[in-house]
Amino acid sequence: MLNDPIAVIPAFVAGLLAIPILLAIARLLSLYTVVNEQEAVVYTFLGKVMGVLDDPGLKFPILHFGPKAILVPLMGTRQPVNMKLRQRYLRNQMVNSEEGTPMSVGVWYETQVSDPVAYLFNNADPEGSLEANVASATISTLSNLEMDKLLEDRHQLSRKVRATVSPLSEKWGFRLGSVYIRKVAFTDREMVDNITDKVVKRLVQVTSAMKQDGENRVGLIKSQTAYKVSEQLAQAAATRPAVVGETLNQIAADDAEVLEALMQVMEAEKLIESGADVDVLPPDARVLVSLSGDGHGSGGQPAPTDATSRLARLRIDDGVLP
């Protein structure tokens, strides 16, 4: 019969069904329990705490608490407690500044159960009490403070709130972690608009002041540069006549004809720059100027001097005469 596979199948199925049933009965009788990560199990017997299992894994209460652990399902309780880190954010906690301005405050805090027994038996609603305690501590700490301090000193104020809440939270089995005031906002919309306008105007003033200061600095640099350039140009202009005169003297000492040609070229350049009218005459042309003994020319005009007569009779080789 043992070799009959058909007869083995019902026994196998019965064994599969019996194992979960036996495990459930064993768990109901507290013969064993499974403690999860970040969890604690509190056992009570006849209204008194037997003990706490907080190490994760498979545990046998009878080894920890003795034979009376079997009677826990009848005369006691088995209560699991979540030991994970919890985070909460309280919105719109209303406070008034020193100036009487209504402000809305948002507080973020984190907490963790440190004492499962105190968490279960010292307060009927520990989480709600902790939340109310954080809110009341925030309002009492931040009320009637200067607006600048409310907006800027959040780190110090957060530490004060935590110091106020921590003693009570420990009595209720909590370990309070970080407390931070994340948001401080105005509730009056008209006031928000007024403050926004003031900030915008202030930014415009600061921007205009920065722009004007930059323009002043640029103007100062330009004026200093122009002064230095004009000074150098003046020095060059003052030095030029001496250099030109010295060069002309040297040319006159070396070759008078070269000096004469140079003077003619310079005279022609001056005439061209002046825009005076000139007459073009043949190379062999002569200009005659009548001289009278009374010092006047024809038509009652003043008679030319000897220097004027010499310039009038000057022949220009290229045929250009003013």
**Which residues of the chain fall below pLDDT 70?**
1-8, 12, 188-192, 278-322
The per-residue DSSP string of 239-261 comes to HHHHHHHHHHHHHHHH-HHHHHH
* CB within 8 Å of 187: residues ≥ 6 apart: 94, 102, 103, 104
Query: Which pLDDT score, from 0 to 100, does residue 288 have?
Result: 52
**pLDDT for res 29:** 73
Beta bridge partners of 120: none
Nearest 5°: phi and psi at 98? -65, -30
Residue in 272, 276, 270, 308 with CA at minimum distance from that of residue 289 = 308
Superfamily of domain 86-187: Band 7 domain (3.30.479.30)
Per-residue pLDDT, 9: 74
The pLDDT of residue 76 is 83
DSSP 302: B
Q: So where are the chain's domains?
A: 5-82, 86-187, 190-254, 255-321
pLDDT at 145: 80
